[in-house]
Amino acid sequence: MRTWRNQLSPAEVSRQQTRLRRLRLGVLGWLVATAVILICRSTGLLPIPIGQQLALHLLAALFLLGLYLLTHFNLNLRFRDPSLTLPHLLFGVFIALWVISHAGEVRPILLLLFSMVMLYGIFRLRAAAYYGLALTVSSGLALLVAYEILTDSLSRPLKLVSLEVVIFAIVMFWTAFIGTYVSRLRQSLHQRNRELEEASRRLKHLAHHDELTGMVNRRRLLTLLEQAQQKGTPFSVAMFDLDHFKRINDRYGHGVGDEVLAEFARRVERELRGEDQSVRIDDSITEMGRFGGEEFLALFPDTDLEGALRATERVRRRIQEAPFATSAGPVQCTTSAGVAESRAGEPLKCLLTRADQALYEAKFDGRDRIKSEPPGSPEGAD
C-alpha cells in the first residue's frame, strides 16, 4: 500500500491527470459496448430481461463512478497500482461473460467486446498481467461452454463451438502478445523522454553553472552584474584568487587541483550564504561564481564597500582555518581578494578592473589578505 498524501508533487499531479484521462477513455469504451448491446437487443437476438439490463448498466455506472472518485480524491494512491487498470479490466470481463451467456446466436459478434477489454490494457498492463487476463477471458468462455454442455443447453454444434473457443483463445493470447509489445515500446519511449528531459535540464544547468564547482559561471555572473547595475542601487564585488595554485597543480597534479577548487567553492558558499543557503549580507543574497581558472567573483547586491569587506574577510579566514582534504592528503591553502564598490554610470568593465587591480595589490603585498580601493577614490588611481 502506498502512503497517501493530500499534498502531491507536480509530477504526481500530472500522473493523476493522465489517469483521469485514461479513465475517461475507458468510459467511452463502456458507452460503445453499451451501444452494441442495445443494438443486438433491439433486433431481438439478445433476450436479456429489461430489469437485468438496467441493473447491469447501473452496476457498471457505479463501478466507473467509484474509480473516478478514488482517482479524483487521490485515494487510488493507496494501492500498489494507482491506475487500477487490472480491477477495471476484470470487472469488464465479468460483465462481458455475463452478457454472452445470454447471447445465443449473436455470441460470435459479442465476443468482439473482449477485444476492447484487452486493448485497454495497453496503457498499463505488464506481460504477466496481460497473459493472465487472456487466460482468464479464455477460461471464462470455456467454462461457460462446459456449463452449457453439462446442462444440455448448447444451441449450436459442439464442433463449431469448440472451434470458436480455440480460435477465441488464440486471438486473446495474440492480442496479449501485441499489447505487451506495444506496452514495452511505450515504457521505453517514456524512459527515453525522461532521459532527454534530464539531459536538457543538465544542459540548461551547465549553460549557467561551472561543472566542477557547481557555482554559476562567468556568463551568468556577467548577467547578474548587469541586472545589479540596472537596478540603480550601489553594489560591490570581490575577486578571489587561490594563492600559489600553480604550485599545487605542479606538486600534486591537476586532479588534486580540481579537488581544491571544489572544496574552496564549498567553503565560500557555506560562509557567504550559510548552511541553509539563506544568510544575507545587508538584506541581499550574495551570488558567488567561478570567473575563470582559480579566480572566483562574489557579487554583493545593495552592499557598500564596508559590508563587502567584512564578508570577504570572513571567507579569507574560513579558507585559512583548516587544510583542504584531498586524495593526496591535506593541502593548506590561502586566498587573496580584491574588493570594489560600484559607481554611478561606471561600465562594468571598469568595476571589474578595479577589483582585479586590488586583487593584484593583495598578492603583491604578500597574499592571504584583502585589498580594496578606498571609497570615492578617483578612477585610474589604481
| Residue of 269, 294, 341, 373 with catalytic role | 294
First to last CA, the chain: 69
Q: Which of 213, 223, 131 is nearest to 177 (CA)?
A: 131
Task: Report the distance separating Cα 339 and Cα 355, nearest Å.
Answer: 5
Paired with 370 in beta bridges are: 337
Q: Which long-range contacts (CB under 8 A, 24 or more apart) does 3-12 make?
A: 3/77, 3/78, 4/74, 4/75, 4/77, 4/78, 5/74, 5/77, 6/74, 8/74, 12/77
Rg, C-alpha atoms of the chain: 36
Please say if 294 is a catalytic residue: yes
| CB contact at 8 A, 175 and 138 | no
CA distance 193 to 203: 15
Q: Left (φ > 0), alpha (ψ -120 to 50) or beta: where does 323 sit?
A: beta
- Residue 166 vs residues 139, 159, 169, 172, 316: alpha-carbon distances, Å: 11, 11, 5, 10, 82
The span from the CA of 120 to the CA of 190, in Å, is 18
Please report, for the chain, how many H helices and E strands are present, in that order.
Answer: 12, 9
Q: Which residues of 249-275 are buried (b: 16+ CB within 10 A; e: fewer)?
A: beebeeebbebbbbbbbebbbebbbee
Q: What is the DSSP letter of 329?
A: E
Catalytic positions, written as ranges: 294
